[in-house]
């Protein structure tokens, strides 16, 4: 008999050799119908896995990441099988087909260029495979057996993948019906579990992400356990398409990206208003929370980046230049410059915590295929801060940072969840330092009572971190804020402070960002608000619409009065009907429209209409100005 520890801590005994599927059926038939995979000692595996030792067991449904991953991974195999069936005369070669966050894809090499109509045919064949309810059977083979099998089938990409494995590697294959694929798994028990799927698009993708390799066709899709969940997801994607920040950025004249600088965004006057308001707010909040602002150079020499560890751990993402025969790098991060600023003075424990904020322009090399509007760029402004503190101040400072995050995110109406990321394989520093830093972050989260997810091995190379994932108005999540606890860089740069005992001590450091990247945060806000920014952020806050030419003077008097008070206001003085002007102001998502005619001129009033509303209200000019000024000062929604 073996002892199995369940998620609630209870121990269940079972006979060695029982499969996870047999075990869940013995517990509950209704649960067995919902379970897609199993976690054994925190590793996601097939339900057919045999349990032959004491271990922790958790059954995974579609609600769990591991369950979703198994179902969508199986969907990628169904996609490959359907393509092989439909295009058996096309010499189709399969590359890789993983599950991804919201679905799956498969990279294929074939002469025929797939179209949207082809995707419909493939999807139809996939649904046939689902109805066939084919079992997925796992088989272990030697490296040579796998090479012989895929070599004979002409699957060159699979052969390349196998050749990368050690000679004594045991390789797993998954078979469903007539189709067998090279795969580590895990998968659901049969194709019939994939009850709702949709192919979404086809794009180009270089083999192994290298521009030196052949361009393959990547077919994207998604899969759900239930059709209504798939329908809800597709509806959300429809709404997201309407909110696409690239489309709205062009319509609202906010930013552009040009062939002369791919990945390097250009901000237009309207976009600069939003950007500057975000920066003004950032400075105001950080002043209240005790931060000082610094600025460090964009280019620093190679020796500095070697000292910080970036040269060894981040070199492939950096840009370089040469000055006076010496190697320099354009900074991908602000932290090494912050180290140098700290070292310009000797600090006492009385100076700590020392909070230094920087709006630093950084450059990172991204593959051209990964660039995406403002979301993935090659240069961006990171709203960085580095906090230097004593070990005793760690938890208090983390709590202070989370307080700041709470205030900022609530201002934009954004909620978040937290994720704790632990030590990655490619890290530097001692086990003791990592344990101390990780426990510091974990304790801060737990003492605050904040629910969090643990991402094992996903920390930065110099320390663990807490990531803050924001939820927008249509339910999508975005990783923005982060708190990284670092004991490595203070050691590498020999940072010290004089303690109460008069001796030198090593400070602990926090790296943190709130917006993350100002450019990306603007993209998120464009989509969150669907371009209809709250009044304090809106590029144009008020549009005055004179009914006829004789009302122009009054309109421009109002404009001057509001402009002088700091409002962003325009007059639409075109020779168009007022209804046309109102519709255009709605399209441009102006928070307030003021219609002025004879009645308004005579009474010193305006006829106000908020964006998105049909009702209008007539009020004295000064009353409207006081109302909108309060709205802006409070940073409250305009509608």
Active-site annotation, residues: 335, 364, 382, 384, 386, 465, 511
Distance CA(204)–CA(217), nearest Å, equals 5
By the 10 Å C-beta count (0-12 exposed, 13-18 middle, 19+ buried), 449 is classed as exposed
Cβ count within 10 A of residue 605:
19
The answer to whether 608 touches 596, Cβ cutoff 8 Å, is no
Name every residue whose Cβ is closer than 8 Å to that of residue 31 and which is 6 or more positions away in sequence. Answer: 24, 59
End-to-end distance of the chain based on CA atoms, in angstroms? 64
- Cα(218)–Cα(459) distance, integer angstroms: 29
Q: Are 624 and 594 in contact (CB under 8 A)?
A: yes
> How does 78-98 read in b/e, with b if 16+ C-beta sit within 10 Å?
bbbbbbbbbbeeeebbbbbbe
Give the separation between CA 188 and CA 192, rounded to whole angstroms. Answer: 9
- The whole-angstrom separation of Cα 390 and Cα 503 is 13
Residues 6+ apart with CB under 8 A from 136: 46, 74, 77, 174, 175, 176, 187, 188, 189, 190, 191
Strand 569-571 vs strand 542-546: parallel, antiparallel, or unpaired? Answer: parallel
- Respond yes or no on whether the N-terminal peptide bond of residue 349 is cis (omega within 30° of 0): no
Which pairs from 12-17 meet CB under 8 Å and 24+ separation?
A: 12/57, 14/51, 16/51, 16/52, 16/53, 17/50, 17/51, 17/52
How far apart CA 619 and CA 543 sit, in angstroms, is 16
Which two structure tokens, joined as six digits, stand for 18?
């029982």
Residue 610 tokens, joined: 């908020």
Tokens at 363, concatenated: 């450059």
**Computed over its alpha carbons, how large is the radius of gyration of the chain?**
29
Angle subtended at Cα 220 by Cα 219 and Cα 223, rounded to the nearest 5 degrees: 130
> Vertex 14, ends 13 and 15: CA angle to 5°?
140
CB-CB contact of 512 with 385 (8 Å): yes
Using N-to-C axis directions, what is the helix angle for 621-634 and 552-564, rounded to 10°?
A: 40
Rounded distance, CA 108 to CA 93, Å?
6
Number of residues that this document lists for the chain? 639
Can you tell me the distance from the alpha carbon of 542 to that of 607, in angstroms, rounded to the nearest whole number? 12
In the DSSP assignment, the letter for residue 316 is G
Looking at residue 574, the DSSP 8-state letter turns out to be S
On whether the CB atoms of residues 496 and 502 are closer than 8 A, the answer is: no
Residue 42 φ/ψ region, left for φ over 0, alpha for ψ in the -120 to 50 degree band, beta for the rest:
left
What pairs with residue 420 in β-bridges?
Answer: 454, 466
């Amino acid at each position: 008999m073996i002892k199995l520890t369940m998620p609630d801590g209870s121990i269940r005994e079972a006979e060695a050799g029982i499969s996870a599927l047999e075990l869940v059926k013995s517990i509950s038939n209704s649960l067995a119908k919902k379970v897609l995979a199993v976690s054994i000692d925190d590793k996601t595996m097939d339900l057919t896995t045999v349990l032959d030792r004491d271990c922790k067991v958790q059954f995974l449904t579609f609600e769990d990441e591991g369950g979703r991953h198994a179902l969508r991974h199986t969907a990628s195999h169904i996609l490959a099988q359907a393509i092989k069936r439909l295009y058996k005369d096309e010499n189709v070669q399969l590359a890789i087909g993983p599950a991804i966050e919201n679905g799956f894809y498969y990279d294929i090499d074939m002469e025929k260029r797939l179209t949207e109509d082809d995707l419909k045919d493939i999807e139809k064949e996939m649904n046939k495979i689902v109805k066939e309810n084919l079992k997925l059977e796992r088989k272990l083979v030697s490296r040579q057996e796998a090479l012989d099998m895929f070599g004979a089938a002409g699957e060159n990409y699979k052969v390349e993948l196998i050749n990368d494995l050690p000679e004594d590697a045991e390789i797993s294959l998954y078979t469903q019906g007539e189709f067998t694929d090279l795969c580590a798994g895990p998968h659901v028990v049969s194709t019939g579990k994939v009850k709702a799927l949709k192919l979404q698009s086809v794009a180009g993708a270089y083999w192994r992400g290298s521009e030196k390799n052949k361009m393959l066709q990547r077919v994207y899709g998604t899969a759900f356990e239930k059709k209504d969940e798939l329908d809800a997801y597709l509806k959300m994607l429809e709404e997201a398409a309407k909110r696409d920040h690239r489309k709205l950025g062009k319509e609202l004249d906010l930013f552009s990206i040009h062939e002369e600088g791919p990945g390097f965004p250009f901000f237009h006057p309207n976009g600069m208003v939003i950007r500057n308001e975000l920066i003004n707010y950032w400075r105001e909040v950080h002043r209240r929370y005790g931060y000082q602002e610094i600025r460090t150079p964009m280019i620093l020499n190679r020796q500095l980046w070697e000292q910080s560890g970036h040269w060894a751990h981040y070199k492939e993402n950096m840009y370089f230049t040469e000055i006076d025969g010496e190697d320099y790098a354009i900074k991908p991060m602000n932290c090494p410059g912050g180290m140098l600023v700290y070292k310009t003075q000797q600090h006492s424990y009385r100076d700590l915590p020392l909070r230094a904020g920087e709006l630093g322009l950084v450059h990172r090399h991204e593959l051209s295929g990964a660039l995406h509007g403002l979301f993935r760029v090659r240069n961006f402004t990171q709203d960085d801060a580095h906090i230097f503190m004593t070990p005793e101040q760690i938890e208090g400072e983390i709590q202070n940072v989370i307080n700041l995050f709470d205030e900022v995110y609530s201002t934009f109406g954004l909620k978040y969840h937290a994720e704790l990321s632990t030590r990655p394989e490619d890290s530097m520093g001692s086990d003791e330092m990592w344990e101390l830093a990780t426990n510091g972050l974990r304790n801060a989260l737990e003492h605050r009572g904040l629910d969090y997810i643990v991402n094992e091995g996903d920390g930065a190379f110099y320390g663990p971190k807490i990531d803050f994932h924001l939820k927008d108005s249509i339910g999508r999540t975005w990783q923005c804020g982060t708190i990284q606890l670092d004991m490595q860089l203070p050691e590498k740069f020999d940072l010290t402070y004089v303690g109460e005992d008069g001796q030198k001590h090593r400070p602990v450091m926090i790296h943190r960002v709130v917006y993350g990247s100002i450019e990306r945060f603007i993209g998120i806000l464009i989509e969150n608000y669907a371009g209809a920014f709250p009044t304090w952020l809106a590029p144009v806050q008020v549009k005055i619409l004179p009914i006829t030419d004789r009302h122009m003077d009054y309109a421009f008097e109002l404009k001057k009065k509001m402009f002088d008070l700091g409002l962003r206001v325009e007059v639409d003085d075109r020779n168009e009907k007022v209804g046309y002007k109102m519709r255009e102001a709605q399209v441009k998502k102006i928070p307030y429209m003021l219609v002025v005619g004879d009645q308004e001129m005579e009474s010193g009033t305006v006829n106000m209409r908020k964006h998105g509303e049909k009702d209008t209200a007539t009020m004295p000019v000064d009353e409207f100005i006081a109302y909108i000024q309060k709205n802006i000062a409070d940073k409250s929604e305009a509608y």
